[in-house]
Structure formats: C-alpha cells, structure tokens
Amino acid sequence: MAFLEIESVSKVYGGVRALSDVSFQVREGEFHSVIGPNGAGKSTLINVLTGLTRPTSGRVVFDGQLISTCRTHEIVAMGVGRIFQNGRLFERLSVLENVMMGLSARQRPSLHQLLGAPRKCAAAQRESRAASIAMLERFGLGNQADRQIGALSYGNRRLVEMAKVMVSRPRLLLLDEPAAGLNSGEVERLMGLLQTLRKEHSLSVVLIEHNMNMVMRLAERITVLNFGTKLAEGTPEQIAANDSVLAAYLGEGYKHAAV
C-alpha cells in the first residue's frame, strides 16, 4: 500500500478548474517531485495535501488514513510537515522561539493541563527547548539561536524554516520551492541536508520545485502537471526524454543538455 495516495483529485474555483482528476502515489521512504509550468496546479495540490484547501472531488489518503477532510493541524499531528514557498517565520521572535513553534501543534497544553499540572507543562517546555536547540545544532545554526529572524541571511532563514518543521519529527515532508531565492552554493547545501535528513529520519518527501538540477538529482519519481492535469509520471530519465513534457515545460534544449 502506498504511503501517500492522491486519488482523482479535482479542485474548481468558480469556473476555473485548478486540478482535474489528478492521481499518483508516493511510497514510504520515496523522494517524489512534482513539476510543471506556472499555473499548472502545483500550489493548489500542496494546499489540498495540507488541508488548506478541500478538494472538490477525489480524496487523499496518508498512511491508510483519509486526510482530505481533515484540518491542517490534524494533518500536522499525523506526521505531515510543510515548507512554504514564501516562508512562515515570526519576525519578532528569536530563531530558537521560531523553531519551538514547530512543536506547538503536538505539545500545546490545554488550560486544564496548565492549571492542573503546571510542573508537567514546565517540564514539557524544557524538553521542547532542548529538542529545538539540538535541531538548530543539526542545521549548523546553534550559534544563531538567540538572534532575531530579521538579522539572518535569506539562506539561513530557509534553514530555520526547515528546522522548525523537522523538530516535530514528520514522516512526510512537503517542500514548496525550497530553493527559490537561494544561490548555487546554498542549493547544494540544501540538497545535501535533505539527503541526510531523509536517511536519518526515514522521511518520505514530496518536492515542488523549478530548479531542475535539484529535481533530477534528488527525485526517484516525478509527476508532471500541466493546466491542472497530470501530463506524465516516471523516473527522472523517463521525464527528461518525454516529448510531451519537453514541449509543455522543459523545452527541447533540455533534452540535448541532459544527454
């Protein structure tokens, strides 16, 4: 059974069909990429996967559980993490405080717990802090823990976002254009980090990305969207040789460059 199943998912906004009968599967431990031109439906798809958008029809199943009717915080609690394209950091908080926010979906105490077991809540807070510091160290940002987010370089801000998601120990990681705005050195660093995290945490990954060098080097399988429909699916080699994909997105020049 697939770890993530997208089954005949469609999404209609008024008269606009953003997704039309899209289906594909992601195996446990697989690195799967979704590519396509702007307006292909990639952002709508990832919003459906994370509960920000309900599909008009079809369904999404994660690890045997139907999630296309769940709220975002419920999906996060099941073990799904997401890196947003435009970032989701709190400018007025420190680096450490931002990472600790990544644990809030799973560790947020109720008022009853705060009043009835304050020591237990305090202990959980200390554990959250320790786990967040350890994750920052893992990302090479331990010495940045007390700095304000606004003082960081763009590349380091992206790493903080990654640390914020990874501290909650997701089993499925959804990446929405993580390389956008990064220079070539930062992209190489990000790719190496993703490969390491995947092995260390047995992650399944869905990558939405325009950086084709990154996609072709990391992905085991690729799904191509175009005008809201699935145009093709296959290995990187199959996608690079697919005439329909070349015509719609990659261009004929890519085929010759890849040979």
Cβ distance 207 to 49 under 8 Å?
no
Reported as a single tens digit per residue, the pLDDT across 92-112 is 899 999 999 888 755 554 444
50: pLDDT strictly greater than 50: yes
Instruction: Give the residue with greater pLDDT, 258 vs 63.
Output: 63
Q: Are residues 176 and 74 in the same domain?
A: yes
The confidence score (pLDDT) of residue 92 equals 87
Q: Are residues 185 and 212 in the same domain?
A: yes
Reported as a single tens digit per residue, the pLDDT across 240-254 is 999 999 998 988 666
Among 127, 145, 167, where does a domain finish?
167
- Within 8 A by CB and 6+ apart from 51, the residues are 67, 68, 70, 71, 72, 74, 75
Reported as a single tens digit per residue, the pLDDT across 200-210 is 888 999 999 99
113: pLDDT strictly greater than 70: no
Q: Determine the straight-line distance between the first and last CA of the chain, rounded to whole angstroms.
A: 35
CATH of the domain at 65: 3.40.50.300
Among 114, 137, 167, where does a domain finish?
167
The total of structural domains in the chain comes to: 2
Q: Are residues 209 and 256 in the same domain?
A: yes
Cβ distance 19 to 9 under 8 Å?
yes
118: pLDDT strictly greater than 60: no
Q: Are residues 96 and 222 in the same domain?
A: no
Classify residue 7: in a domain, yes or no.
no
Q: Are residues 33 and 106 in the same domain?
A: no
Q: What is the pTM of this model?
A: 0.87
Q: Are residues 132 and 250 in the same domain?
A: no
The confidence score (pLDDT) of residue 114 equals 41
Both tokens assigned to 108:
């947020």
Q: Are residues 55 and 24 in the same domain?
A: yes
The confidence score (pLDDT) of residue 61 equals 97
90: pLDDT strictly greater than 60: yes
Q: Are residues 63 and 116 in the same domain?
A: no
3-12, 50-59, 124-133, 200-209, range with the lowest pLDDT = 124-133
Domain, as residue range, for 117: 91-153+162-167
